[in-house]
Structure 1
Amino acid sequence: MKPSKLTSAILVLSFATPIFAVQANNTAETNDELRTELQQIQQRLAMLEAQENEPSVPSDTQFNFYGSLRPTFGLTHTNSDDVWDVGDANSRIGFAAEQKLSHGLTGFAKGEFKVDIKNDGDFGDARLAYVGIEGLFGRFAIGKQAVTQEMISDPVDIFNRSGTPLAYDSASPFRVNNLVTYRKQFGDILFSADGQFDGDNKESNGSDFVNAGVRYKTDFIYIAAAFYNKELEDGTNENTLGVTLSKSFDSLYLAAAYQDIDKDDADGSTLDVVASYAINESYKVKLGVSKYDDGGNDVTSKTYNAYNTTLEWHLTSMFRTFVEYQKTDYEYLETNDQIMIGMRYNFDYKF
């Protein structure tokens, strides 16, 4: 009941009570007794009004609901076939929550899930799902997360397709489950370390994947280096060292990422070099050259050189359309040419 209604009800009862009392007991209360009752009622009403006017306690929790829908439509041409297809460039929706804790700590959580526009708009496969805590000691989290190695891929991940960066995507990790991560920022320098612990993997009693790296990031330049060791299904190990560099010159952006991949049976590498140029506030052109070498030298090898050209039309900060051409020239397989158009709608609501 609202205070205004409560006030009226109490006043009515306060005057009706003496009348009922007179009728029941056939006695009359004195004016002093009535005055005392009214004073008590007024005090109670004053307390209720004070409680109503007290400012609410500010929320210590921030919640974000976000997403990015990215349908594509295009033609893929090989030496033997042409295929028209509707595709999806990693559409997703997710939430992120953050809460202030005691002792200067902050708790956080994130869940991000695929929206597969290509296949009936299916929803559910997790891209990210973790909980963590942050303080002066750094940032610690457990769950399915982006790995440290993405320090290498982030600067060259600029195109509008699911398989980018073009060479990096063929060999390296993005999001890993059963992951424990630690991050610590020292000014412009970020130190990062990860470990995957999958008890269902009978091949290993300890970590299945270890990844560590360091990043230096300012408005002037981005430099990063990272190393990971991964235990493969056949019991062998994969060791990868990656470095990346990016720089912006007003409207021009340049970036390059290289990885040396050492396996027991083959040595490989990835190289991605990209550039983008903002023609004006609405139009941007992007170029990319990539080389993936899996270390093979026969028909089973998937070594290739790839080239990408993209023109984007940014109608708003949240909505863009694009046309993109990519050529993948395999050393032993059929050459693949693909041209596609697409749209991207991003949203992010804070509560």
Structure 2
Amino acid sequence: MKNLKLKTALLPLVIAMPVFQASADDNVSKAQLEKQLEVISKRIAALESAEGKAEKKSDGKTQFNVYGTLRPTFGVTSGDSEDVWDVGDALSRVGFATSRELGNGMTAFAKGEFKVNIQLNGDFGEARKAYVGLKGDFGRVAIGKQATMQYNIIADPVDIFNRASTPLAYDDASPFRQQQLVSYSKSFGNLAFSMAGQFKKEDSLNEGSDLFNAGVKYSGDGFTLGAAYLTKDLAGIDENTFGVSMSKNVGDHYVALSYQDIDRGGNGQDRSSLDVVGAFKISDSYKLKLGYSNFADDLGAAETAEVTRINTTLEWHLDNDFYTFVEYQNNNFKEREDNNQVMVGMRYNFDYKF
């Protein structure tokens, strides 16, 4: 089509030749006009050749997609003292991902993902992910803001609810995405190994990484089993976290569990998190989700954030990319005022590949 347009652009010149010949003055000969036409023809041929080369550069080796999910919510949080109504947001975001084959079995890739603050002005918020990497037979290496192994292996299997604070217990305890990460991962059949280090010059408490996270995950026949270890520097102490997770698909149903033990050197600072979830398909349009969680610490009554949560969610799937939901959650704190949350929301997902 592009070549046709270029050739079509030449037609007015060809049609106009007789006119040029008839109206040419004594200083312009037929030979000169033909020479000018020849120059124009060569120029068009050069443009066609350049277009051909440009098309070869995008011969399917490069992939690009724009994706996102918008998740507004409306609900009420009821406590003993007051009821609070609020329009909220369940982690809406937009992003792009691109990759390009480099040859020799290597592929370059990049991703940028950003929050959409529906509960505020609908503004773009901070970056959730922003990294560039390279993968091949050697594995996968990436640099930038990424999800931790602790999230990918321990939290992700139980992250099924439509709210910002999820997974329910993990949210109180461990990191999700971290900036200034260098990560490496490689799969060996059904077994995947990954690790990452965080290097923040301005906050470094030592000459090494500020955070180190490593994990391993087995996947097969609708079943996953994972374990991860996280260590990071805090003011005066080191935090060491060990977590395990497992998940299982049973037909159209899904169950998962994750547990973490967080060691901060005792003195009331140790913590733990437990999440147990299930998603059950009622029909082609309805899905029921249930969750139980417990976050525990060793702090005294004045400081403890210990809480047990129970969540029930009913989703109505009108389409693969659009559904509505109603969700109830009870938050039973050890020392703080308990509350109940009821909210409804909508979720629209999109993913366009180019």
Matched, 1:269 2:283: no
- Separation in 2, partners of 1:342, 1:287: 17
- Separation in 1, partners of 2:126, 2:261: 31
- Separation in 2, partners of 1:338, 1:24: 90
Matched, 1:301 2:304: yes
Q: 1:18 to 1:149 in 2, by over 3 A?
A: same
Query: Which of 159, 163, 167 is the matching residue for 1:165?
Result: 167
Give runs of aligned pairs for residues 76-95 of structure 1, distance below 5 A: 76-95=77-96
Look up the match of 2:13: 9
Deviation at 1:195, TM superposition (A): 0.3
- Separation in 2, partners of 1:170, 1:309: 19
- Separation in 1, partners of 2:111, 2:203: 25
The residue type equivalent to 1:148 in the other structure is M
Say if 1:88 and 1:161, in contact at 8 Å, map to a contact too: yes
Across the aligned residues of Structure 1 and Structure 2, the Cα RMSD in angstroms comes to 2.9
Look up the match of 2:335: 332
- Separation in 1, partners of 2:46, 2:210: 62
Say if 2:173 and 2:271, in contact at 8 Å, map to a contact too: no
Say if 2:199 and 2:210, in contact at 8 Å, map to a contact too: yes
Deviation at 1:185, TM superposition (A): 1.4
SS at match of 2:349: strand
Look up the match of 2:259: 258
Look up the match of 2:73: 72
Q: 1:200 to 1:4 in 2, by over 3 A?
A: same
SS at match of 2:273: strand
Look up the match of 2:243: 242
- Separation in 1, partners of 2:215, 2:61: 32
The residue type equivalent to 2:353 in the other structure is K
Deviation track 1:79-112 (CA, whole Å, cap 9, x = no partner) reads 2221111111111111111111133221111111
TM-score by length of 2: 0.88
The residue type equivalent to 2:242 in the other structure is L
Deviation track 1:4-24 (CA, whole Å, cap 9, x = no partner) reads 332552575499669969x55
- Separation in 2, partners of 1:254, 1:219: 14
Gaps of 5+ in 2: none
Q: 1:20 to 1:192 in 2, by over 3 A?
A: same
Larger radius of gyration: 1
Deviation at 1:2, TM superposition (A): 2.3
Identical columns (%): 49
Deviation track 1:123-162 (CA, whole Å, cap 9, x = no partner) reads 1311111111111111111111001111111111011100
Matched, 1:196 2:183: no
Deviation at 1:267, TM superposition (A): 2.4
Gaps of 5+ in 1: none
The residue type equivalent to 1:339 in the other structure is V
- Separation in 2, partners of 1:173, 1:322: 27
Counting matched residue pairs gives 340
SS at match of 1:101: strand
Say if 1:318 and 1:346, in contact at 8 Å, map to a contact too: yes
- Separation in 2, partners of 1:273, 1:289: 5
- Separation in 2, partners of 1:51, 1:18: 31
Look up the match of 1:129: 130
Deviation at 1:72, TM superposition (A): 0.7
